[in-house]
Every structure is written in structure tokens, then in C-alpha cells.
Amino acid sequence: MTTLVALLVLAHATPAPTDPRALYRDLSAQVSASYDTARGGFVSRSGIPDQSAIELAFVEAASGSGPWQEQAIHTVSWSRSLLDTLTGGYFEGREQGDEGLGKRADSNGLRLANLMRAWRASGDASYRKDAFKVVDFMERVLLDGRGGFVTAQVGDRELQPAANGIAIRAWLQWAAVDLDRGRRNFALRSLDRVWETSWHPKLGLVMTSTFGEVLAPPGLADQVEMGRAFVFAFQLCRRQQDLERARQIGNLLITNFVDKDGALRSQSVPKKDGSIQKASRDSRLNARAARFLYELAALTGDQGYRGIADRAWAPFRKNFPKLGLEAADWALAARAAFAPEAPTAPEWANVEEAAPPPRPRSVRIKLGH
């Protein structure tokens, strides 16, 4: 029995940790209690707006419960103080300098998505204008014409899978607003390029140099964010290759990242004997991984993915009462267990012509000792 099959059998035999609806209610209540007008709303002590908490607030607002929409809108409006009015783009938080290091593809992608939610929820066109400012900054500064986005305004130009997964997903959301086939095509080309340059069947998605050398160990964030981008791309554009790639990532999470307690390691470094080295595990990353696996299970009907997501909760449950804003990612994961996001595919034209098939490329593995 292969490792993958064995873990899938275990996943099928593992019951859900708790009623996900009850977990969702409890975790959402904790996020709501962490709202602080003195800081700007759903803002951390370090002055960084929590994008997952804002997303959760808009989800709850859609159901018409409590003051969620007002709180989400207030936080998005407060975040305008972090917008660079000279060159565009959002700084990460109050402590960021003006050298551009704080204007990253991932945080700007997350804020772009929440600006679109704010615009739809409120009908206020100013949020759409702000969203366009982020799009303009990303196009001028972060976009790589060959496909994909660089990690930040200043720094390495290699494609980081995690940052690209978030940015590409937001790019598809923006393209869907106006049925913009040009931006849709770029998003799909970006997915192909990241896969072509970063995917290794035994390692997963890794950041590589222009010469194909692996620059860092395979990270959980890289797999999860690109996995969610492939799921979303399939939902919007119906390219079969995106669904297949999401499946490959989901299978690799099971074989390479799940530890003996059911949690997922933050990185996966293989030993010479083929086993995986011990590594730390991060609560928020596990929440996002569980969310991806629930979404993948709903899309494919494969309950093995759901079983692995169910097991990821156990090692972190004792810390749930004191998560604060960080409870938002677990709340969104719990919601994905019973109500996964299922956007309707727009009426795109000529989807089949969106992007050429990826070219094979060799990757030289050089992880060190």
C-alpha cells in the first residue's frame, strides 16, 4: 500500500473534529470580539490590517448578521492610510518605510480582493477606484510580462509561488468584474509559468533561480496558495489542467507535508532515505491548508482530501480560545467544510485560446545538507 493510499484510507476513517458550523460560530465570534476601533478595526497590534478577518466580515455581512459590514468597511477605509499616493500600491503596515519593500504582491492581492468586496457590498464606487489603483500599481511595478508577479517592488525577481497564488487569484477576480479577457489570459498564463518554472513532482512547488536551482525548501504556503489559485481558476475558466494541477498539489500535501499528529509541516525537506525531515507547523498555514483541501474535496468529490483537512484541526484546538484575529483563517476553513466558495463561471469568450500549454523544463535540485 503506497503512502498516499494509506493516508487516504486513514482520512476516510477519521471523523470530523466537531460540528464545523459550531466551530464557525465560535471562531467568528472571537474575531468579532477582536475588532478595535482605536487601532482601525480588524487591525493587529503591529498596525497591519488582517485581510482574513476583513474577508470573514464580508462573508458574515452577506448573511445580514450583526455589524459585520460596517466593521469591514471601516477597516478597509482605514487601510487607505497605507496606500502610497505617489507610486501606488499598499504598504504592509504603519512601520513600513518608503523603499518599496513593504509593497508586496501577496498583501496587495489580498487588499485588491477586499476592495472589490467592499465595492460590491456598499455600492460605493470609490472602493472600485482604489482597487484600480492597486491594479495599476501591480501592472506597472510587479507584473512580469512573461507571466506572474515579482514578490515585491524591491528585491528578488524570481517567482515565489505563494505570492503568485494570491496575486493571480485576485487578478482573476478583477478580470471577472468586467469580463476582461486580456487580464484573464494573463492570469492563466501566469498559472502556467509558475507551474512550469516551480513544479517538481517529488518536491512540489519551489522557488527556483533562472538556472533552475531550488532556492528554498518546498513551503506549505507555496502549495496552498497556488492550489487555491488553481481551484479558483478552474471554477471561473474551466480549464481541465487547472483542476488536475490542484489535485497534484493536494496529493503532494498528503504525502510530503502531513505529520504524525495530522498537522501539516510548514516546509518539506526530504532526507536521503526518502523520508521527510521534522519541521515546525504554523496554525494559520494549517487553517489555509484545511480550507484548500475542503475546497478541493467539494470540487472533485474526493473525500480523502476532506479527511486530511479534518485531521489538521486537532493539534491546534487547545489554542483556539486565544487566537484573536488569527481565528479568522480557521473560521474560513470551518465554513469551507460546509459551504465552500463556488463562484459562477462568467460568460468568457474563447477560453480555450487563453494560454499555450506549458513547455517542459528541467529543475536541478540543490537543497544543501
pLDDT at 157 (0 to 100): 74
pLDDT at 1 (0 to 100): 35
Q: pLDDT at residue 180 above 90? A: yes
Beta pairing partners, 199: 205
Q: pLDDT at residue 222 above 50? A: yes
Would you call 104 exposed, middle or buried from its count of C-beta atoms within 10 A (0-12, 13-18, 19+)? buried
Give DSSP secondary structure letters for 340-362. ---PPPP--SSGGGS-PPPPP--
Contacts of 162 (CB under 8 A, 6+ apart): 106, 219, 221, 222, 224, 225, 226
User: Which pLDDT band, with edges at 50, 70 and 90, does 354 fall under?
Assistant: very low
Q: What span, in angstroms and rounded, lies between the C-alpha atoms of 364 and 200? A: 10
Q: Please give the model's pTM, rounded to 2 decimal places.
A: 0.89
Contacts of 142 (CB under 8 A, 6+ apart): 89, 105, 108, 149, 150, 152, 153, 167
Query: pLDDT tens digits, residue range 121-131?
Result: 999 999 999 99
Query: pLDDT tens digits, residue range 318-348?
Result: 999 999 999 999 999 999 999 999 898 998 8
Query: pLDDT tens digits, residue range 77-125?
Result: 999 999 988 888 999 876 654 444 578 999 999 999 999 999 999 999 9
pLDDT at 93 (0 to 100): 79
Contacts of 143 (CB under 8 A, 6+ apart): 149, 186
Cα R_g (the chain), whole angstroms: 20
Q: What span, in angstroms and rounded, lies between the C-alpha atoms of 289 and 164? A: 16
Q: What values do phi and psi take at 270, rounded to 5?
A: -75, 145
pLDDT at 273 (0 to 100): 76
Q: pLDDT at residue 363 above 60? A: no
Q: What span, in angstroms and rounded, lies between the C-alpha atoms of 232 and 113? A: 13
pLDDT at 16 (0 to 100): 52
DSSP state of 90: B
Beta strands (DSSP E) in the chain are 199-200, 204-205
Q: What span, in angstroms and rounded, lies between the C-alpha atoms of 359 and 195? A: 10
pLDDT, the chain, mean:
88
Query: pLDDT tens digits, residue range 236-262?
Result: 999 999 999 999 999 999 999 999 999
Beta pairing partners, 149: 143
pLDDT at 266 (0 to 100): 95
| Helix/strand/coil (H/E/C) assignment for every residue in 209-234 | CCCCEECCCCEHHHHHHHHHHHHHHH
pLDDT at 12 (0 to 100): 45
Segment 347-364 shows an average pLDDT of: 50
Is the distance from CB of 96 to CB of 79 less than 8 angstroms? no
